[in-house]
Amino acid sequence: MTGASGTEQHDPLRLAVLGLGRMGRHHLAALRERSDVEIVAVGDHGSRSARDVAAELAAATGRECHVVTRTAEVVGLADAAIVAVPTAAHADVASTLLEGGVACLVEKPIAASAAEAERMIAAADAGRAVLQIGHIERFNPAFVLLCEHLGDEIESGSVRRIAAQRTSRADGRTFDVDAVLDLMIHDLDLLEYVTGPRHTGTALGVYALEPTATFERASAWLERGRDGESVDLLVELVTDRAAAEAVRTFTVESPTWLLRADLDARTLKRRPSSGRGAVEEVPVPASDPLRAQLDAFLRAVRGRGPVAVDGAAGLAALRLAERIRATLGLAGER
């Protein structure tokens, strides 16, 4: 699939960046390093911020950068877009673009509800446009190496235990979603990926460490059976965005390995599941997840590779998040 212009593969892709908050500006900085894209439009609810960015880009490149105030203006102007607007706006913004044939890299979570995510997937199908979800931890080199160790054990559904801890320091930022959709969603996506397609059933046990309206802290236990069989996968997830320190670890036990990825330090430790043998630290290749994610997106837009994290993957993680949120009393399952 291609973007709206039918651009030849050797031509620079025309990109729009919608949403110029923290993540939007990270994407913008990564795009500005590339010679194979042209940033043709920016948009933000703070139009002054967008005008300032557009003026800076025009001065640096000598090419006009449009400031868009309506999503529909991007159709026909750009081949692809980074959608980093607030989660509540994902479905409206991305659906308009996708139906118009504009490929989208949408920040996580895919949408505010499963129904909205399904709408986005349908729009991508209708517009024959690439839809990739910004589950950036898929591109963390420590997680990539962990998956290489698991190999066929992912496809066979052999993983039997997962423990994930994800905490961040309170930094005064405001959030448009709770901790489950902000932080835990990362690990829900990794969970869905490494457990493979054979794990179908899920039983939930969830509690909130801080039962307040903000739900800054939450933990969840999951048990999964394989195609209706007895439970053979145990999962523990811990999330806290008001912690004393930042921690991002993802531990997996399979019949072959016990693997612990530190996603913050980008390290991987392993030992045989048999218990025989010492713990080893495995060298992790240097790689920037944001830039690796962008590489994958642009390859997919040009038709040179598959969509790394497609709409179905984003929806699967969101559906699991909705079940956890419903158990916490945050929202009903939509």
Same domain, 150 and 277: yes
pTM of the full structure: 0.91
Same domain, 186 and 253: yes
Residue type, 123: A
Same domain, 21 and 145: no
How many CB atoms sit inside 10 A of residue 210's CB? 12
Per residue in 267-305, is it b (16+ CB within 10 Å) or e — as a string? bbebeebeeeeeeeeeebeeeebeebbbbbbbebbbeee
pLDDT digits over 117-153, tens only?
999 999 999 999 999 999 999 999 999 999 999 999 9
Q: Is residue 309 part of a domain?
A: no
Q: Is residue 144 part of a domain?
A: yes
Instruction: List the CATH number of the domain containing 17.
Output: 3.40.50.720
pLDDT digits over 59-99, tens only?
999 999 999 999 999 999 999 999 999 999 999 999 999 99
Q: Is residue 324 part of a domain?
A: yes
Question: Which range of residues forms the domain containing residue 191?
Answer: 137-287+320-328
Q: Is residue 170 part of a domain?
A: yes
Calpha distance 84→93 (Å, rounded): 10
Same domain, 107 and 56: yes
Same domain, 101 and 119: yes
Same domain, 75 and 157: no
pLDDT by residue, tens only, the chain of 334 residues: 444 433 344 689 999 999 999 999 999 999 999 999 999 999 998 778 999 999 999 999 999 999 999 999 999 999 999 999 999 999 999 999 999 999 999 999 999 999 999 999 999 999 999 999 999 999 999 999 999 999 999 988 889 999 999 999 877 666 788 888 999 999 999 999 998 665 555 555 555 555 444 457 778 877 766 555 555 788 889 898 888 899 999 999 999 999 999 999 999 999 999 989 899 999 999 999 999 999 999 999 999 999 999 999 999 999 989 988 887 776 644 4
Domain count along the chain: 2
Same domain, 120 and 141: no
The residue from 68, 102, 129 where one domain ends is: 129
Mean of pLDDT over the chain: 89
Same domain, 154 and 261: yes
